[in-house]
Structure 1
Amino acid sequence: MAQRLIDRDTSGVYIISATPFTENGAVDEASTDRLVDFYLDSGVNGMTILGIMGEANKLTAEESRGFASRVLKRIDGRIPVIVGASAAGIDNLKSFSRFAMDEGAAGIMVAPTPGPAVEDRIIGYFRQVCEALGPDVPICFQDFPLTTGVPVSVATILTLTREMPQIVMLKHEDWPGLSKISAVRAGSGTAETPRISILCGNGGLFLPQELSRGADGAMTGFAYPEMLVQVVEAHRAGDPDRAEDIYDAYLPILRYEQQPGFGLAVRKEILRRRGAIACARTRAPGPRLNDTDQAELTRLMERTDRKVKGL
């Protein structure tokens, strides 16, 4: 099957994958296969692996390569897969990115390196990244200043996609950021600046509004990926009210999942309860749910199920 690459018109739901671990902390290969199947069954258009939610910073280089290879082999070209490759050094980023592309990845996701939020520094860094990866590797620019500590202006995003043809996608996770989506959409697809695909993160917390502002879809890891798919499809069909009705049914549990740090443990526990993975463990240092947390989650999941059936 021909390798499918992301481009400037990529749209839909690219689910951010968790990385499953066993109780002793090893990467769980059997659960990796189950999780891939779970995402495929939910109807997602693509996947993104080894992002922040995937605890990529807690994996060894060997584990990252093994996980990427297993996911890509399991998917076998059925949907495109973006691979997170952010690294402190360009050489490491290049080596891993080339490995991922050779294994069948659809593109590489890269965030700015920590440091002063100086436009020239960010642009200079991505020039080096693009030069190292070459013109045949599509890049998703991850804009997540709440985690990276690097705010990036609309002007810089437009400069990057205008001057570097490899940068075809924006993963938008600024918050507040709705006006930023509007500005990027208005500033791209012009005579001067080519269109850029915009997929949004932040757990899907603002998804209906993001779609109305011109986003092309979602790139996030909400543990009910079918909701993301249904909301995007309803919006595409010209029925934003239906999209918001679906979204509203999941909002309490989506909000609960969005707690900084702790939310990853919630997300993995939901995936475990839904049969997608065998163990909800996060790698240390990482949160764990206590008995009260588990009881809260049980109630939220039961209420969500009732609301969804009522739709």
Structure 2
Amino acid sequence: MTSISSKSGYGALDALRGLCVVAQTPFDAEGAVDLKSVDTLAEFYFKHGAAALTVLGVAGEAPKLTQDESLAVAERYIRAAQGRPIIVGVSNAGVAQLAELTAQVMDRGAAGVMIAPPGGLKTEEELFSYFAAVFKRIGDVPVVLQDFPFSTGTWMSVASMLTLIERHPQIRVIKEEDLPSITKITRLRAGTGRRVGILTGNNAMFLPLEMGRGIDGPMAGFSHPEMLSGVYELYTAGRVQEAHELFDTYLPLLSYENQSQWGVAVRKEILRRRGAIKSAVMRSPGPVLTPTDHAEIDFLLSRLDRALAARR
């Protein structure tokens, strides 16, 4: 298992290497937050190679939570992590709400927060003004800057991102999810300013190639996190071909999960089957899997079992 510094503050984010799982938010059968399943899910993620967790992200159904629920989920993950880094998604077009949640989770021991620009920013001036306002309010808090234009609707150029990094030393990590991610990673790494970590999402669909472009690990969710941590470990050990082969073994299931919120429903169902959470429910509005969907999951998991058996 990859390990990183368990210190809060800049130390934890500066040392961030390996798998940072984007954690799900468990709900019970009635759609209430299931904090007991937070405990079992955190244990599952760390058991399968996670070095850190990101909670309250897009895949964590954060927009469906109240402010009190968001704090409760973050606090429970921080407690369950037992000193390992927890990054909390706090993105919000309202700077006051963002700053309030940031202060609350940092006070409870989060290693840092993740912030994406809100939708509707059209110019560099608007982008820079937004983040200037954010950092003025949150102060000296370690930040992961999320670049996910297909979700936010706001596109950040490499030049703009490098400017933000130089203006705001609180930015310690980039989560790069623009496409093509590999070319943007290369251009970010070619920047001559302060080095920051780069983690990647997009359901880890391009992980081995992104490793080759110089990322520090995946920040992604997948029902089989042992693949993500395994690819990272193999690649960093110089076993590049083996890393690609392991990735390919899981690729049919990975791509099946890579279908926006419907894919999150699939992931939660598989996590339920693996004993990580009690219920696979997504909070409404959200998809509900059909018998045909369940049959396809059965098929893909059986194929995966055979492929893994052949590797042994």
Normalising by structure 2, what TM-score?
Answer: 0.95
1:257 match? 257
2:119 match? 114
2:74 match? 68
* Aligned pairs (5 A) from 1:158-237: 158-187=162-191, 190=192, 193-237=193-237
Question: CA contact under 8 A between 1:144 and 1:172: conserved in structure 2?
Answer: yes
Task: Specify whether residues 117 and 213 from structure 1 end up closer, same or farther in structure 2 by C-alpha distance, changes over 3 A only.
Answer: farther
| Unaligned 5+ runs, structure 1 | none
Question: CA contact under 8 A between 2:27 and 2:279: conserved in structure 1?
Answer: yes
Once superposed, what is the RMSD of the aligned Cα atoms?
1.2
Question: CA contact under 8 A between 1:13 and 1:46: conserved in structure 2?
Answer: yes
**Do residues 57 (structure 1) and 63 (structure 2) align?**
yes
Deviation at 1:76, TM superposition (A): 2.0
Question: CA contact under 8 A between 2:7 and 2:111: conserved in structure 1?
Answer: no
2:3 match? none
Question: CA contact under 8 A between 1:86 and 1:111: conserved in structure 2?
Answer: yes
- Alpha-carbon distance in 2 for matches of 1:274, 1:186: 41
Deviation at 1:3, TM superposition (A): 3.0
3-state secondary structure, aligned to 1:219: strand
Normalising by structure 1, what TM-score?
Answer: 0.95
1:82 match? 87
Deviations 1:180-239 (Å, cap 9, x if unpaired)? Answer: 01000111xx3xx10011000011100001110111110011111110000001111111
The number of aligned residues is 305
- Alpha-carbon distance in 2 for matches of 1:302, 1:161: 45
3-state secondary structure, aligned to 2:13: coil
Question: CA contact under 8 A between 1:208 and 1:231: conserved in structure 2?
Answer: yes
1:14 match? 20
Deviation at 1:7, TM superposition (A): 3.2
Question: CA contact under 8 A between 1:227 and 1:247: conserved in structure 2?
Answer: yes
| Unaligned 5+ runs, structure 2 | 1-5
Question: CA contact under 8 A between 1:12 and 1:229: conserved in structure 2?
Answer: yes
- Alpha-carbon distance in 2 for matches of 1:200, 1:305: 27
- Alpha-carbon distance in 1 for matches of 2:110, 2:123: 31
Task: Specify whether residues 14 and 171 from structure 1 end up closer, same or farther in structure 2 by C-alpha distance, changes over 3 A only.
Answer: same
Deviation at 1:130, TM superposition (A): 1.3
Question: CA contact under 8 A between 2:59 and 2:261: conserved in structure 1?
Answer: no
Instruction: Identify the range of structure 1 (121-130 vs 268-277) with the bigger mean alpha-carbon deviation.
Output: 121-130
2:97 to 92, 97, 108: 92
- Alpha-carbon distance in 1 for matches of 2:210, 2:158: 16
Question: CA contact under 8 A between 1:15 and 1:48: conserved in structure 2?
Answer: yes
- Alpha-carbon distance in 2 for matches of 1:117, 1:107: 27
Identity %: 46
- Alpha-carbon distance in 1 for matches of 2:121, 2:162: 19
